[in-house]
Structure 1
């Protein structure tokens, strides 16, 4: 039996689109909220808009470009190289992003009569981002509820899944081809398989190859 209305924090990428299909399966009504935080490629927002339209769910864009005024990172500055060094946060880390996004998503959810928030964060393939951890999500859930005197529930269906398992979930939801062809994960703003060189593409495509290999093994056995 489907539950109440839910709001998906949505970017049009592999993870949030898989979460959107998960939400459509589990909730009566689904809305999406996307954030314009000055990301280096606006294609992300347009991709999210197109997916929401195709799946016939509401689409809301919130202006969060203040983040871009406060920190320098590779996701909002094209003069900073996308890089990952051992023992350091990746240059793509945007301080406070998930904290702010989920807090504003909660305000939006309350305005439209929803208490369920869904986000695609994962502690398994999280690139070291501290705001993708399960402890952070649980802590923020308590904080938001106290701050707004509400009973929000933050759902993280991908929290303990690696990228291969995210592909498996998309397949289970009947969304494999959709996610593969229509989402945008690439840091360089290229949809589907992307540039195949940036960290986001490497992680996505490695997971895809692993999942497809596991399917072949399963069929052969």
Structure 2
């Protein structure tokens, strides 16, 4: 098993409030922090600009990975022409659900973290303000990082500092860590 550097962390950064809070949390917790952003054809292109600006302000390196194939799968208001309405579809998921998005992000993040000798992967997933996204649950992400650790024979750890926080609590954390 490859023992990764316990002082290094990679943050999955969308540029929004949650991932920005997680970035500043990671800066407080780890000696070296980098971020990774994904261009998956999302409709809200400003996310990419915001992520780059947040990383620059934090003084860290940010890598943007192109995942254009995700939008080719369609089926979600986040990557299609459909209005983002919050409508619950027949399968019980919101129309903004992109199947497997966080699992794909986590896989790419782990591959990059492996190359950079980074033990910790930080993700802004939160299940208390239920979004209906099954790939935001602690159980899902825990099993995913376990599979990635096995598949790469590396000792990854995932951190989801917002997982059990309400939106109000995550705003308080953002202020505490200096994210805003």
TM-score normalised by length of structure 1:
0.76
Distance 2:63 2:176 in 1: 27
Question: Are residue 85 (structure 1) and residue 83 (structure 2) matched?
Answer: no
Give matches, 1:156-171, under 5 Å: 156-171=160-175
Stretches (4+) displaced over 4 A: none
Q: What's the offset of the Cα at 1:43?
A: 1.2
Q: What's the offset of the Cα at 1:54?
A: 1.1
Q: What's the offset of the Cα at 1:141?
A: 1.3
**Contact 2:36–2:109 under 8 Å retained in 1:** yes
SS of 2:129's equivalent in the other structure is coil
**How many residues are treated as equivalent by the alignment?**
173
**Contact 1:8–1:119 under 8 Å retained in 2:** yes
**Contact 1:71–1:95 under 8 Å retained in 2:** no
* Bigger relative contact order (CA 8 A; separation at least 6): 2
**Contact 1:37–1:63 under 8 Å retained in 2:** yes
Superposition CA RMSD, Å: 1.2
Distance 1:84 1:34 in 2: 24
Q: What's the offset of the Cα at 1:90?
A: 1.1
Give matches, 1:190-201, under 5 Å: none
**Contact 2:55–2:61 under 8 Å retained in 1:** yes
- 1:8 maps to what in 2? 11
When you count strand as a share of all residues, which structure comes out higher? 2
Question: Are residue 24 (structure 1) and residue 34 (structure 2) matched?
Answer: no
Distance 2:79 2:73 in 1: 11
TM-score normalised by length of structure 2:
0.92
- 1:62 maps to what in 2? 65
- 1:172 maps to what in 2? 176
- 1:129 maps to what in 2? 133
Q: What's the offset of the Cα at 1:129?
A: 0.3
Distance 1:142 1:109 in 2: 15
Larger radius of gyration: 1
**Contact 2:88–2:95 under 8 Å retained in 1:** no
